[in-house]
Amino acid sequence: MAGFLSTLRRIYLSLYNWTVFVGWFQVLYFAVKALREGGPTTVYGFVERPLQLAQTAAVMEILHGLVVISFAVGLVRSPVSATLPQIGSRLFLTWGILWSFPETRAHILVSSLVISWSITEIIRYSFFRMKEAFGFAPSWFLWLRYSTFFILYPTGITSEVGLIYVALPYIKASEKYCIRMPNKWNFSFDYFSASILALAIYIPGIPHMYQYMLGQRRKALCKSKTA
């Protein structure tokens, strides 16, 4: 039974990783194509569907990091404490900002956002593919996997924060997703305030994630030297 579950796990993760890899490759391809043919204002229109599919599929990574009670094993070792805030912020940008407020889609930060995200994910999933196929990754690619965040994390996170800020006037004016009292639930919700809170969370979140990635880099590169 254990052998069957292990095989099933490998097949599932392989299919998942390949699917998401192809999705992010499409995002990068269409983003570059849009920049060449129409400029930054056209990028979102080119990448909308593959971006939504690839980023939403990342929800599964949260589940992968949890302990699956019925099998008593986790699918992967990624800590949920690191995975959840990153995926949560990306989903908020993908659906809560770009999809919900079309006024933000022509901003130049959309280009830097999707390019930073897509290159990061393509490198990450390519690394998984190499390890899956050969059992290891070349030292140069290991270095690339754990070093590109020095550039891509600042560009990506700056784009995220910038787009939320750009969206704030439209969020406030539209009152979209707001719940006002009185109502039968005796509950109120203000999306504008929630977006301000999301921006505030970036303040402690950015250094926390950066320190986490630095730690992962040190661990991975030191392990490769001693191997």
pLDDT given at position 68: 46
Whether 16 is catalytic: no
pLDDT given at position 227: 58
Query: Dihedral of the CA atoms 31, 56, 118, 13 (nearest 10)?
Result: -130
Question: CA 158, 16, 81 angle in degrees (round to 5)?
Answer: 50
CA distances from 168 to 91, 121, 173 (A): 17, 28, 9
Specify burial of residue 10 (Cβ count, 10 A radius: 0-12, 13-18, 19+): exposed
Q: What whole-number distance in Å separates Cα of residue 73 and Cα of residue 34?
A: 43
Tokens of 83: 């995975």
- DSSP states of the chain as a string? -HHHHHHHHHHHHHHHHHHHHHHHHHHHHHHHHHHHHT-GGGHHHHHHHHHHHHHHHTHHHHHHHSEETTTTEES----HHHHHHHHHHHHIIIIIIIIT-GGGTTSTHHHHHHHHHHHHHHHHHHHHHHHHHHSS--HHHHHHHTTTHHHHHHHHHHHHHHHHHHHHHHHHHH-TT-B-SS-TT---B-HHHHHHHHHHHHHHHHHHHHHHHHHHHHHHHHHHHH-
Tokens of 193: 């305030």
In the set 16, 153, 165, 177, the catalytic residue is: 153
Q: What whole-number distance in Å separates Cα of residue 61 and Cα of residue 38?
A: 34
Q: What whole-number distance in Å separates Cα of residue 7 and Cα of residue 2?
A: 9
Note down pLDDT in tens along the chain; length 227 residues.
Answer: 657 667 777 788 888 888 999 999 999 999 999 999 999 999 999 999 999 999 999 888 877 766 443 344 445 555 666 778 889 999 999 999 999 999 999 999 999 999 999 999 999 988 877 776 667 778 888 999 999 999 999 999 999 999 999 999 999 999 999 999 988 888 999 999 999 999 999 999 999 999 999 999 999 888 776 65
Q: How many CB atoms lie within 10 A of CB 179?
A: 12
Whether 29 is catalytic: no
Question: CA 119, 120, 124 angle in degrees (round to 5)?
Answer: 115
Q: What whole-number distance in Å separates Cα of residue 36 and Cα of residue 66?
A: 41
